[in-house]
Homo-oligomer: A and B are copies of this chain.
Amino acid sequence: MRCEIVAVGTELLLGQIVDTNSAWLGERLALAGIDRTHGQTVGDNLDRIVGALELALSRSDAVIVCGGLGPTQDDITRDAIAAVMGVPLEPDDDVADRILERFAARGRRMPANNMRQALVPRGATAVADPQPGTAPGLICPVGDKVVYAVPGVPYELREIVHGAVLPDLARRAGTVAVIRSRTLRTWGDSESGLAERLADHMTELDAAGPRAPTLAFLASGIEGLKVRITVKADDEATAARLIDAEDEIVRGLIGDIVFGVDDETMEHAVAKLLDARGLTLAVAESLTGGLVASRLVDVPGAGTWFRGGVVSYDPEVKYSVLDVPEGPVVSARTAAAMATGVRRLLGADVGLGVTGVAGPDSLEGEPPGTVFLSAVVGDAEPVTTRVLLPGDRQRVRQFACISLLDMLRRILAAPSGETPAGWPLA
């Protein structure tokens, strides 16, 4: 089964927006075990959309065309599909009713153009619109092949693809297998280091045949590396069992650097640990300038455990507000004093401190990328480490931020009294 994606919109050709839909769809197709060999982009031009659909149908079994379903004269995807099918467009009464209802509910006059969204090529089916009264998706049979039309608005596209397109594709592909995946998110090792630790196990999986789980590495920039586990099975229950078993094996090999699953971020991982232990947190930041605090408040419910922070960018603020002893600010002593100082000032259980050199220039004889991280839990001694981080000013700051959060995660996850494994980082 092969499926091609055609993105429609002059604004894509002009570079006014980046086509994120094709990448998202490509990933969904790959996860569903459906091949994709080509992608096309065309503007809002009838002949060219028709040409792109005909080319796609000549080499693929299915085509997903995104965009051009809106109410304006530029939105001509449905006209192009009707031309390819050799049929007229006809109004769909259900869709028309929903459009009228939407305008009536808002007490607004409906521009006549909006009724264009109720037109459907004869023989095609309109599939539920995620926002009632806007453009529905279309399933359009062409011989024994099919064209799916979906809106270009990412939220609407995703709803329709999950709700109607992928199930229809799976039915046509006659796939009996259920394909499921889980992503383990890691931080603290390089891609080659990770590959080395998993190499023997991956060789075993390769040898175990086509029904064995597969592993893939995905880089996600400063957020670390992801290891995606994918399994095929005859039913959901077996898929879930297989994925859990593989998850356990992978964590046996790299569990120390796994911080989360799927969409879980580092700050979510920290939040869960603080919540579980009933601890509150305060943060003192120098080079990161508020980045650590702003990531922490992104977690819903942060108010229960996050007290706040001090951005002590100027050295005098460190001395006067946080009671840091005067002296070199790019030092372990300053990082530790910031952590204990902010913990005391804000009345928190846990204090974090981060100071260093973002660059481009050296500071106090230390090169750009030199960063000191410190964490103090209760009245214990602060844990402090020095790391050398790569990249420009902005990357150093972002790496410092996630390094600090990962340090706290390891401390909170370690059995009480034990030094967390894997520190210092560098």
Contact = CB atoms under 8 A, between A and B. Distances in A.
Interface of A: 7, 12-20, 22-30, 36-43, 45, 48, 52, 55, 218, 283, 285, 287-294, 296-298, 300, 302-303, 306-314, 316-317, 320-321, 345-347, 360, 393-394, 397
Contact of A309 (B40, B48, B310): B310
Contact of A393 (B218, B300, B313, B393): B300
A23 B28 contact: no
A16 B313 contact: no
Contact of A289 (B7, B17, B45, B293): B293
Contact of A294 (B43, B288, B320): B288
Nearest to A316: B347
Contact of A16 (B12, B218, B302): B218
A39 B41 contact: yes
A39 B13 CA distance: 7
Identical chains bound together, number: 2
B313 A311 contact: no
A35 B354 CA distance: 51
A186 to B, nearest CB: 17
Nearest to A27: B15
Given A41-B39, A313-B302, A18 B23 contact: yes
Contacts of A24: 15
A12 B40 contact: no
A303 B309 contact: no
A294 B291 contact: yes
Nearest to A292: B290
18 contacts: A13-B36, A13-B39, A16-B23, A19-B19, A19-B22, A38-B40, A38-B41, A39-B39, A39-B40, A289-B294, A297-B311, A298-B394, A302-B313, A303-B313, A306-B314, A308-B310, A308-B311, A310-B311
B303 A308 contact: no
A39 B30 CA distance: 21
Nearest to A283: B311
A341 to B, nearest CB: 12
Given A290-B309, A308-B314, A345-B321, A23 B19 contact: yes
A26 B296 CA distance: 37
Given A23-B18, A43-B37, A296 B289 contact: yes
Contacts of A311: 283, 290, 293, 297, 308-311
Contacts of A347: 316-317, 320
A314 B303 contact: yes
Contact of A297 (B17, B38, B313): B313
Contacts of A290: 285, 289-294, 297, 309, 311
A18 B15 contact: no
Contacts of A15: 22-30
A13 B55 CA distance: 17
Given A14-B36, A37-B48, A293-B313, 16 more contacts: A7-B39, A12-B39, A15-B29, A17-B23, A18-B18, A19-B19, A37-B42, A39-B42, A289-B302, A289-B306, A290-B311, A307-B314, A307-B316, A308-B317, A309-B310, A309-B313
Contact of A14 (B26, B296, B302, B316): B26
Contacts of A27: 14-16
A12 B293 CA distance: 35
